[in-house]
Amino acid sequence: MENRETWSGNFGFIMATIGSAIGLGNVWKFPYITGMNGGGAFVIVYIVCVLLLGVPVMICEMNIGRKTGLNAYGAYKRLELRRSRIGRFIAAGLILGGLCLIGAGSYGFGTVSVIAGLIVLKLGFAAFGLLAIFGALAILSYYAVVGGWIVDYMFRSFSGNLNYSDVASAGEAFGKLTESPWRVSLFYVLFMVLCGAMLVGGVRNGIEKWSKILMPLLFFLLIAVIVRSVTLPGSWPGVKFFLEPDFSKLTAGGILMALGQCFYSLSLGMGITVTYGSYMRKNQDIFAASFWVMVLDTLAAVLAGLAIFPAVFAMGFNPGDGPSLIFKILPATFNHFPGGTGWLWGGLFFLMLTIGAVTSGVALLQNGVSFFQDQLKWSRMRSIAVCFCGVTLFGFLSSLSVANWKHIPAVKTLIGKMFGAEHVPGSFFDMLDNLTSNWMLPIGGMVICLFVGWVWTARKAARELRLGASKSSPDVNLISLLAGFLGEPMYKTTRDHGLTLISLWAIIIRFFAPVVIFLIFLRAVGVNIGF
Ligand code: TRP
């Protein structure tokens, strides 16, 4: 730990962390769900979610990372001094729940739950650290497949081969791509190589150095595409679709979507920010850093919408979601740009997206790399080699099964036998996406709040948080601040005994966040919670 690398400063840390945060989530999810859920109204709800939930959880992650200087597994292990009661309670719940499931005839899920319970009983919270680290590597294995498509589209656009006159033909070409496993795999491996190459220099000379160049470039490209997009004739309906507040379209489901999206977009719940936080120095301000990461990530999401919808509407297309928006509607849109400049704008757009995806991929990879370095004392190169090869091999299951299970029928049969045929999703790729986004992220987020608030204790966490936090004045009394009493010496700070920024944070992570995240989780995995 003494020799642990550190970021060179706040700017480098913030660039690296927004590198991990800004990615496909900002570009292909946020704009669409905003458009569908009341535009500006949804953006307001999203910002509230980010402030009340996203930022507090991010602060927890950075805090335990910096405190221990370790990966998520090591951090939990070091800070859980005695086996905690909460940990045992969770283990008992998993085991009993699993037995009930087995009793009810659901053998696959029941067995998984019992095994998970036994692991939690044995390892305590560190079990969730393991889940986060291997979960992040699993995310990478399918994220990189999409990353590969994006690199593919970037090359095709720059070389003038992304010329589809309508959405149907673009869709057909996309279908063909996802059905050619070797082409997909080629670009997928190329994407992994890009991620691995950025890591070779280490934290400061690899991740930080690249992020400092690439993130400003990403914002620059985004703004360039926006300028082109909103100056197209007929682009205004797109801006309106995206931003005009319509509170009547805002539903309870939409609010829950905002919560889920804020976790995904800020890369929370999978130990990433623990790992990045572990390279922070004690004189860095965690409050201020998480605030900036939140602002820039949200800004990138809003800018992405402004880049996409005005152009789509100006060219007379209808918006669609996720893969179809990016890989079918946008290529057709760019192709209609005036003066035959579509190849250039399309290329720049996909370059921007490649940057976002690669810097997120790097974070997911580094999460695993730091685990092997810290826990097994492997060298950096060996850790990178093992994570790289492991993820790349595992990812073939996704890259070969994007369209359906045609190329890996045995895996499909196995999953069907274990969990029941009705639980076999469209492809291995879909299964991993569902498993990680809907199950692992909320579990990871909930666990970290419970852990910091109750096991390590908010009291100790606050002590660590105050280090380096003079700029954001975490102890300012919020009531006095609002009342305008700050000039009075006795109202200035009230450490621990008053509503301060830091006590507000502690209340949120002890009571509010775990409950709210649990509700999102239940809904995301299909339990009916009444709305
Ligand atoms: N935040 C990234 C995005 O918006 C995706 C991502 C990277 C992620 N690392 C993560 C999501 C960890 C969840 C957990 O595209």
Tens digits of residue pLDDT in 285-307: 999 999 999 999 999 999 999 99
Q: Could you identify the atom of ligand 1 that is nearest to the CA of residue 363?
A: 9
Sign of the torsion angle spanned by Cα atoms 30, 31, 32, 35: positive
Integer Cα distance of 55 and 61 in angstroms: 10
Mean per-residue pLDDT for 471-491?
74
Q: How far apart are CA 506 and CA 497, in angstroms?
A: 12
Residue nearest atom 15 of ligand 1, based on CA coordinates: 23
In angstroms, the CA 448 to CA 457 distance is 11
Mutate to test the pocket of ligand 1, among 191, 267, 296 (most ligand atoms within 8 A of CB): 267
Confidence of residue 1 (pLDDT cuts 50, 70, 90): very low
Q: Residue 531 and residue 528: Cα distance in Å, rounded?
A: 7
Residue nearest to atom 6 of ligand 1 (CA): 267
> Is there an atom of ligand 1 within 6 Å of 26 CB?
yes
Tokens, residue 509:
């992570």
Within 13 Å, how many C-alpha atoms sit on residue 515's CB side? Answer: 6
Q: List, for residues 404-429, the tens digit of each pLDDT value.
A: 788 888 888 998 888 888 878 888 88
Q: What is the mean pLDDT of residues 40-50?
A: 93
- Pocket of ligand 1, candidates 30, 140, 142, 143: which has the most ligand atoms within 8 Å of its Cβ, to mutate? 143
C-beta separation of 421 from 137 below 8 A: no
> Is there an atom of ligand 1 within 6 Å of 272 CB?
yes
Q: What is the DSSP letter of 500?
A: B
Q: Is the model's pTM score more than 0.85?
A: yes
Q: Tokens 């290529």, residue?
A: 331
Q: How many CB atoms lie within 10 A of CB 173?
A: 17
Residue 364 burial class via C-beta count within 10 angstroms: exposed 0-12, middle 13-18, buried 19 and up: buried
Task: Quote the ligand 1 centre to 446 CA distance (angstroms).
Answer: 17
Q: Is 113 in the pocket of ligand 1 (CB under 6 A)?
A: no
Q: d(Cα 208, Cα 213) in Å, to the nearest integer? A: 9
Minimal-distance CA residue to ligand 1 atom 9: 267
Q: Whose CA is nearest to atom 8 of ligand 1?
A: 267
76 CA distance to ligand 1 middle (Å) = 21
pLDDT band at 402 (very low <50, low <70, confident <90, very high): confident
